[in-house]
Amino acid sequence: MEIIELHAINLKMGMGNNEVLEFLVSFLSPNTRKAYKRDLALFSFFLQKKYPQTLMKEASTIQLAIFREYLLKSYSARTARRVLDSLGSYYQFLKRKKVIALSPMDEIDRPKCSKEILTPDVTNQEVLSMLNAVDLTKQSGPLHRAVLSLFFYTGLRCEEVRMLKIENIHVIHGQLAMVFRGKGDKERIVPMPPPLQKDLGRYLKKRSELGTALNSSSPLFCSSTGKEEPLSPRAFSYIVKNYAIKANISETISVHSTRATFIGASLDAGIPLDKVADLVGHQDVNLTRRYSKRRNVLNTFDKLPDLYQPEEKM
């Protein structure tokens, strides 16, 4: 149903053949697709009014510069930047597909935004408290511990974790890693530190004992309905928020907070900015740099596998 709706909008807005549709469906999350669709539609309507003969894929840098001025006059700097960033991603997609040779957005400056709203993260000690709060003697314990561990040790987005399958676990040069296609349909290789390997191994063993299928195409984290369906975003949110409460963390923590925490902890540990950007799937290192607020935290660690050292409660 959603694909049909996207195609109808694509034709209605005159955004050009199948390029916009292909770009939108490359994103895993429906919310992400909706956000990009909204931003691209704004530019499409602008083109229809000012340059009715121009398709989005044919837009020039001059036309985009005029659109930038329109955005700054009509919207906040934050909204203008978001829309321009969306367009930048779209034209980079066209460039990778060899539809265009150069992105017309390359020379378009993004407006600076003051008072940037940052996703709240947690300290390293609070991560330990959340991991240690899991009671592994309960049936749900291994699942909850594995979910928290994967989020904190990889920095993956919620939808990326949700869509992981057992077949996404690979051995590369003797090291376990997650290999999957993330946001923008780009292949990602994310290492699995030993503590994460241990937590996932415990969970999969428990899952096998309970008689849940462990086929290669099975979701890594299954729902409790008995069907081979991945956990819902609400379930992931519940797990993170529940153990934040158990760890007496007063600030409102979300699933995205685990991503912010991983990025900050990795930068604290001295991992180069570009490497961290690769790990979390950021195309622009400046986006990763926004998380460097944690670099002044005194309690830093030497390397990624030792970011957090949870206790074992059996």
Across the range 43-59, mean pLDDT stands at 93
State the span(s) of the chain assigned CATH 1.10.443.10: 124-306
pLDDT at 299 over 50: no
pLDDT at 249 over 50: yes
Across the range 235-246, mean pLDDT stands at 95
Query: Residue 21: what pLDDT?
Result: 87
**∠ CA 273-258-234 to the nearest 5 degrees?**
140
Closest CA to 285 of 293, 274, 294: 274
Q: How confident is the model at residue 182 (pLDDT cuts 50, 70, 90)?
A: confident
What's the chain's average pLDDT?
Answer: 83
45-49, 192-196, 223-227, 259-263: which has the minimum mean pLDDT? Answer: 223-227
Query: Residue 149: what pLDDT?
Result: 97
The answer, as to whether pTM is greater than 0.95, is: no
**Which carries the bigger pLDDT value, residue 227 or residue 254?**
254
pLDDT at 282 over 80: yes
Distance between CA atoms of residues 154 and 151, nearest Å: 6
Q: How confident is the model at residue 307 (pLDDT cuts 50, 70, 90)?
A: low
Strand-pairing partners, residue 247, are none
Contacts by 284-288, CB closer than 8 A, 24 or more apart? 288/263
Most confident of 119-128, 157-166, 178-187: 157-166
Query: Residue 225: what pLDDT?
Result: 63
Residue 274: which residues within 8 A CB-CB, separation 6 or more? 285
Across the range 244-256, mean pLDDT stands at 88
CATH number of this structure's domain 124-306: 1.10.443.10
DSSP codes, 24-66: HHT-S-HHHHHHHHHHHHHHHHHHHHH-TT--GGG--HHHHHH
Query: Residue 219: what pLDDT?
Result: 92
101-110, 123-132, 217-226: which has the minimum mean pLDDT? Answer: 217-226
Q: Mind listing the pLDDT tens digit for each residue in 86-98?
A: 999 999 999 998 9
Q: Mind listing the pLDDT tens digit for each residue in 16-32?
A: 557 888 888 887 778 78
